[in-house]
Amino acid sequence: MNKFTIKSVHARRVWDSRGEPTIETEVTLRYGAHGRAITPAGASKGSGEVLDLRDGGKAFGGRDVMKAVSAIKTEIAPALNGLDAREQTDIDKILIELDGTKERSRIGGNAITATSMAVLNAAASAEKLPLWRYLAEVHGNNETLSLPLPEIQIFGGGVHAAKRVDVQDFMVIAIAATSYAEALEWSAEIYRHAGILMENTGRLHGVADEGGFWPAFNSNEEAIETLIQAIECAGFTPGQEIALSLDIAASEFGKNGHYTLACDDRVLDSDSLSGLLVDWIERYPIISIEDPLAEDDIEGFTKFTWAVGKRVQVVGDDFLVTNAKHVAKAAKLNACNALLVKPNQAGTITETKAALDMAEKHGYTSIISARSGETADPTIVHLAVGWGVKQIKVGSFSRSERMVKWNEEIRIAEAIGQLKHTRPEGALPAQNTFPWIP
């Protein structure tokens, strides 16, 4: 028995940024250290994610999590009591076996994710280290610590905005900023000017799920045009200082090779959607595109990556669901070149790291990401720094569940004395020959 020995595992129902129930697990160790974590929730989910177990029934639209909360107390707690919180791999294995189903439908992927992350937080706390430093020490990359480059949403669309436009995220990346703090300053100005533009044109209708402005546009491209204008109004040169990043989230409007762009009143096949996106890449300073095709369209992904993979980051989110096997398969087919990393898609810390390692092995870039249903839990920011993930995406520049993460990175930046350096070497694909990059 030592300071890392698990003494108790407690769970409670808490509430996320959409006002929906979610799970918080609290792990207490023998001499008082403890760690907490809350599972976030996606709205545009990949079908291969571990299951987010909900109670069904009338209350909260069937979204309650009391079954999963009770499984943590009655099944997980006794299984973990007495174990060493540093043994993350063993603990995650026990959690997976305890559930016993492929999709984590018995105890719930959400219950297991919160617990896995809470164990990690508890171990760091017993070591009296912030999580980012604990991870860096465990993984031996203390020397190479760097801050992830942020991609920040300005307009939120897709299912985060009742499908007001089809494309889900219209984001900016401050490619020429010389510090993390400066990247935030530039993005803050762009966000502010986007708001002014929307107000001046009578289109300001609040914000979408991740805090980006509600996309009151008549076409998807109008959102891109307005984003370019916002960048210019803020005094920046698109493509020189600020690049664009889009999350198409195509699984939400496409299946079996048919894509319905409701906002543009068009139905496209896979090649035509690819063609449309390539046209945007040629006309706008886009350096990253996530889920350009639907998760079932591997051939479409492969063709798209063949066409633009040397110029832009082609990111698999719903397509790869933070799953090492999916990453290996995609790499074999050259189906994309970057991984979006979401711990609650993978289900445990160990599986999340495995997907990240697989991405690195195949020369993929990686972006750690929040979900559309979030809380004040900052764990992912620590994972990004501690694991050396070079990009981060936590939504827009408003709403506290987003700002708490950007602000946590400011504190870490100060602690590691890297306020000066924001664009870590290799954040974007090395082969990137896109003319927009300075």
Cβ(16)–Cβ(41) below 8 Å: yes
- Cβ at position 224, least distance to ligand PGA in Å: 18
Q: Rule CB under 6 A: say whether 348 interacts with ligand PGA.
A: no
E-assigned strand segments in 169-325: 169-173, 243-247, 254-255, 258-261, 266-269, 286-290, 313-316
Q: Would you say 157 or 309 has its CB closer to ligand PGA?
A: 157
Between β-strands 243-247 and 286-290, what pairing exists: parallel, antiparallel or unpaired?
parallel
Cβ(133)–Cβ(123) below 8 Å: no
Binds ligand PGA by CB under 6 A, chosen from 270, 369, 375, 396: 369
- Cβ at position 269, least distance to ligand PGA in Å: 23
- Cβ at position 193, least distance to ligand PGA in Å: 24
Binds ligand PGA by CB under 6 A, chosen from 64, 92, 166, 247: 247
Q: Would you say 134 or 280 has its CB closer to Zn ion?
A: 280
Cβ(236)–Cβ(190) below 8 Å: yes
* Active-site annotation, residues: 210, 342
Q: Would you say 153 or 274 has its CB closer to ligand PGA?
A: 153
Residues 6 or more apart whose Cβ sits within 8 Å of residue 260: 253, 254, 266, 267
Binds ligand PGA by CB under 6 A, chosen from 28, 44, 116, 121: 44
Binds Zn ion by CB under 5 A, chosen from 16, 247, 252, 401: 247
Structure tokens that stand for 410 in this block: 């400011």
Interface stretch with ligand PGA, choices 38-46, 142-150, 198-206, 423-431 (CB under 6 A): 38-46
Binds ligand PGA by CB under 6 A, chosen from 45, 311, 326, 402: 45
Binds ligand PGA by CB under 6 A, chosen from 13, 43, 73, 269: 43
The C-alpha atoms of residue 155 and residue 398 are separated, in whole angstroms, by 11
E-assigned strand segments in 16-108: 21-29, 34-38
Q: Would you say 71 or 368 has its CB closer to ligand PGA?
A: 368
Cβ(65)–Cβ(21) below 8 Å: yes
Interface stretch with Zn ion, choices 23-31, 313-321, 360-368, 379-387 (CB under 5 A): 313-321
Kind and range of the H or E run holding 98 = helix 88-99
- Number of residue whose CB is nearest Zn ion: 317
Binds ligand PGA by CB under 6 A, chosen from 76, 119, 183, 249: 249
Count CB neighbours of 298 within 10 A: 16
Classify residue 109 by burial, with Cβ atoms within 10 Å: 0-12, 13-18, 19+. Answer: buried
The pattern of x and - marking residues 189 through 218 that bind ligand PGA according to CB under 6 A reads: ------------------------------
Residues forming the site for Zn ion (CB under 5 A): 247, 290, 317
